[in-house]
Amino acid sequence: MTIAPDAGTTAAPVPTQSRYQNRVADYWNAEENPVNLELGRIDDLYHHHYGIGEADRSVLEEADPARRRERITAELHRLEHAQAELLAGHLGPLSPADRVFDAGCGRGGGSVVAHLRHGCQADGVTISAKQAAFAAEQARKRGIDGQVRYHHRNMLDTGFETGAYAASWNNESTMYVELELLFAEHARLLRRGGRYVVITGCYNDAYGRASREVSLINAHYICDIHPRSEYFRAMARNRLVPVHVQDLTADAIPYWELRRQADHLVTGIEDTFLTAYRDGSFQYLLIVADRV
């Protein structure tokens, strides 16, 4: 195909992974934030998402400094775990024979939560070889590597079997990909009547374009947060019909208020999230959809 007058240039072959994807993989291959590793170490459930629900702020009053750090860490982990359980609870009735797909699985916590809750078989994919290896080792140590598997693959092009999955999800990973391509892959993998769940941060396009805070979050994680409308447009075009939508923004604020005071865990993005959530320009959303 010619898209411009030939100026004597030769077309470069399309790389298997784009420059952008390479940079994202680099970020996650190098990432060792205490806020992820210290929380995960508590019960070997490593999450890469935020928390929801009321926080027990009495942990901040703890007099002993070491104990205070420990209690804050445990409380943040409890809130992140609550978020993972909320998502897993929407995957629908599942049996041990059912397969689920975790798109952008990070260090693997979400697939383990889904497996422990439903007994289902899980396939998690991440663009980071390091995360995939870490997650696989966790599953092996738990003795669930026969049911929960992790793959170093692209969530847009998994190569997994068409129609083989009863449920699938993205937990804070949609901002790394084009939604049309992502939902096409979920629709391909899910069987008819299968369930798709996403928890995401999105900008509120009732306010117009993305705010400065959203741009700061994008730069921090090398991602590209989508407007809320794009989720519904791309789902409608890809056989995913929303059955439940929940605005979790207010539920997300206590986590960030506590995290900003956790000196041993902060990454510097805490106040940006709080400003974005409070001014209404940014929303933390759960969408549950049926694959029709």
Which one of Mg ion, ligand GPP, none is in contact with 223 (Cβ closer than 5 to 8 A by kind)? ligand GPP
Contact segment (CB under 5 A) with Mg ion among 28-36, 109-117, 161-169, 268-276 equals 28-36
State the minimum distance, in angstroms, from the CB of residue 47 to ligand GPP: 6
Q: Does 131 bind Mg ion (CB under 5 A)?
A: no
Q: Does 122 bind ligand GPP (CB under 6 A)?
A: no
Convert residues 245-274 into a mask of x (bound to ligand GPP by CB under 6 A) and - (unbound).
----------------------x-x-----
Among 134, 165, 221, 231, binds ligand GPP (CB under 6 A): 221
Among 17, 22, 29, 33, binds ligand GPP (CB under 6 A): 33
Contact segment (CB under 5 A) with Mg ion among 34-42, 152-160, 200-208, 250-258 equals 34-42
State the minimum distance, in angstroms, from the CB of residue 120 to Mg ion: 24
Q: How many residues bind ligand GPP (CB under 6 A)?
A: 14
Convert residues 35-64 into a mask of x (bound to Mg ion by CB under 5 A) and - (unbound).
xx----------------------------
Q: Does 149 bind ligand GPP (CB under 6 A)?
A: no
Distance CA 126, CA 107 (A): 9
Distance CA 265, CA 263 (A): 6
Give the distance between the most distant pair of CA atoms in the chain: 72
CA-CA-CA-CA dihedral for 47, 117, 123, 199, to nearest 10: -50
Among 24, 40, 48, 203, binds ligand GPP (CB under 6 A): 48
The CA distances from residue 268 to 83, 152, 189, 261, in Å, are 22, 29, 37, 11
Q: Does 49 bind ligand GPP (CB under 6 A)?
A: yes
Distance CA 285, CA 247 (A): 5
Interface positions with ligand GPP (CB under 6 A): 33, 35-36, 48-49, 172, 175, 201, 217, 221, 223, 225, 267, 269
